[in-house]
């Protein structure tokens, strides 16, 4: 797959989504391909974490529906930190319903995800129209300000995301290139995805065995060199560590070294 050896500059120039373009730029500027999964139940704690590791990461991934102290005012604060330290905020909501419902989940409710998320995740389960209509009609601002990351494969044991499923969904994603900025996967797709960014979760340097609840782990180097990750997603491997800044630097350095090696090979 030629994508794996292309430079980030080449990839940036072939990206069709403004958020993917921005992310390639951030990766190059910060020499980082680290996304941290800030799976904490307090938004105050997420903000604190983001302030400390902000310089090392390019994306901060959250699950807004596990926060016990959510408010839009606090989300504004997190956005300020994201602006100051230059990283994107990904809401891992995994939208998976009909377009009419998903649009309301994205724009409305308590969380108003469209007001603060740079990236959101979605399962392509419901078909191509759900992807093309995810953000609303063609005049919706979100088409410029938010990128969809399609879940093509999951990291867990016995996931139902088969090769056929992900291949078909990837094709739909390519058609909706004004919506889709990248994908979550454990392997590089075979088609031309040069402008898309592959996010790979299930990365943990300390644990090889997974988490006893189906999660499976690999190292940053394996994720990048063998599984095709452009961006590694690290959760408990970092947030449970006693020195999150030192751990973030280790993951940044391991991930970036592997990416540089893959590109120059």
Binding-site members for substrate are 39, 61, 155, 215, 235-236
Select the residue interacting with ligand 5FU from 6, 10, 25, 39 (CB under 6 A).
39
Contact segment (CB under 6 A) with ligand 5FU among 22-30, 108-116, 168-176, 199-207 equals: 199-207
Minimum Å gap between C-beta 5 and ligand 5FU is 25
Closest residue by Cα to residue 183 from 145, 230, 217: 230
DSSP conformation class of 124 = G
The alpha carbon of 189 is separated from its chain's Cα centroid by a whole number of angstroms, namely 16
Select the residue interacting with ligand 5FU from 235, 248, 252, 254 (CB under 6 A).
235
Cβ burial of 206 (10 Å; 0-12, 13-18, 19+) is exposed
Q: By CB under 6 A, tell whether 219 contacts ligand 5FU.
A: no
Q: How far is CA 39 from CA 152, 154, 237, in A?
A: 21, 17, 11
Q: By CB under 6 A, tell whether 254 contacts ligand 5FU.
A: no
Q: What kind and span of H or E run contains 120?
A: strand 119-122
Q: Which is nearer to ligand 5FU, 53 or 154 (CB)?
A: 154
Cα angle at 142 between 139 and 143, to 5 degrees? Answer: 70
End-to-end CA distance of the chain: 13
Residue labelled with tokens 């998320």: 117
Select the residue interacting with ligand 5FU from 15, 21, 33, 155 (CB under 6 A).
155
Positions marked catalytic = 92, 94, 97
Residues with Cβ < 8 Å from 138, sequence gap 6 or more?
none
Q: Which is nearer to ligand 5FU, 82 or 233 (CB)?
A: 233
Q: Which is nearer to ligand 5FU, 205 or 257 (CB)?
A: 205
The alpha carbon of 70 is separated from its chain's Cα centroid by a whole number of angstroms, namely 21
Q: By CB under 6 A, tell whether 201 contacts ligand 5FU.
A: yes
Q: How far is CA 60 from CA 12, 15, 193, 248, in A?
A: 20, 21, 23, 12
Select the residue interacting with ligand 5FU from 20, 34, 37, 43 (CB under 6 A).
37
Q: By CB under 6 A, tell whether 102 contacts ligand 5FU.
A: no
Contact segment (CB under 6 A) with ligand 5FU among 50-58, 71-79, 198-206, 220-228 equals: 198-206
Contact residues for ligand 5FU (CB under 6 A)?
A: 37, 39, 92, 151, 154-155, 184, 201-202, 204, 211, 215, 233-237
């Amino acid at each position: 797959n030629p994508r794996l050896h292309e430079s980030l500059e080449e990839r940036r120039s072939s990206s069709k989504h403004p958020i993917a373009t921005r992310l390639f730029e951030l990766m190059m500027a910060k020499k980082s391909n680290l996304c941290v999964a800030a799976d904490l139940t307090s938004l105050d704690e997420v903000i604190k974490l983001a302030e400390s590791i902000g310089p090392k990461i390019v994306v901060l991934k959250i699950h807004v529906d596990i926060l016990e102290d959510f408010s839009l005012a606090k989300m504004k604060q997190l956005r300020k930190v994201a602006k100051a330290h230059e990283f994107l905020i990904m809401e891992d909501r995994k939208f998976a319903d009909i377009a009419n419902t998903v649009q309301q989940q994205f724009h409305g409710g308590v969380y108003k995800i469209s007001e603060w998320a740079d990236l959101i995740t979605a399962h392509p389960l419901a078909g191509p129209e759900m992807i093309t209509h995810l953000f609303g009609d063609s005049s919706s601002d979100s088409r410029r300000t938010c990128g969809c990351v399609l879940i093509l494969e999951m990291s867990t044991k016995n996931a139902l995301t088969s090769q056929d499923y992900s291949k078909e969904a990837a094709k739909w994603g390519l058609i909706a290139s004004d919506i889709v900025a990248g994908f979550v996967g454990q392997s590089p797709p075979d088609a031309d995805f040069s402008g898309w960014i592959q996010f790979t979760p299930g990365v943990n340097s300390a644990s090889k065995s997974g988490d006893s609840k189906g999660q499976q782990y690999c190292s940053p180097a394996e994720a990048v060199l063998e599984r095709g990750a452009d961006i590694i997603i690290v959760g408990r491997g970092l947030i449970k560590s006693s020195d999150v800044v030192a751990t973030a630097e280790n993951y940044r350095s391991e991930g970036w070294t592997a990416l540089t090696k893959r590109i120059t090979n």
